[in-house]
Amino acid sequence: MTRGTGQITTTQSVVGALMVIGVAAAIVVALDLLVLRGEQEASLGAPAQEETDDACPEVLDTAGGAPEVVAADELLECPSTYDGALVTFEGEAVRAVLRRGERAWLHLNDDRYALELGPLHEHRTTVGGNSGLPVSVPTTVAENVRFVGDARHSGDILSVTGIFHRADPADGGGPTIQARTARITQKGRAIARPVDRVRAVTATALAIAALTAALVSTGSMQHRSTNR
Q: What's the CATH number for 55-190? A: 2.40.50.140
- Among 17-21, 99-103, 198-202, top mean pLDDT goes to 99-103
- All structural domains of the chain with their residue ranges: 10-41+195-226, 55-190
CA–CA separation, 196 and 188 (whole Å): 24
Q: Count other C-beta atoms under 10 Å from residue 75's C-beta.
A: 26
- Residue pair 89/184 in contact by the 8 Å Cβ criterion: no
HSE (CB half, 13 Å, CA atoms) of 68? Answer: 20
pLDDT score of 153 more than 50: yes
pLDDT score of 38 more than 70: no
Residue 122 identity (one-letter amino acid)? E
Read off the pLDDT band of 44 (50, 70, 90): very low
- Among 32-41, 108-117, 147-156, top mean pLDDT goes to 147-156
CA–CA separation, 86 and 96 (whole Å): 25
pLDDT for the residue 208: 81
CA–CA separation, 189 and 182 (whole Å): 20
pLDDT for the residue 26: 65
CA–CA separation, 128 and 41 (whole Å): 8
Question: Which own/partner pairs from 124-129 qualify as long-range (CB within 8 Å, at least 24 positions apart)?
Answer: 124/38, 126/38, 126/41, 126/42, 127/42, 128/42, 128/45, 128/46, 129/42, 129/43, 129/44, 129/45, 129/46
- The alpha carbon torsion through 113, 118, 123, 125 (nearest 10 deg) reads -10
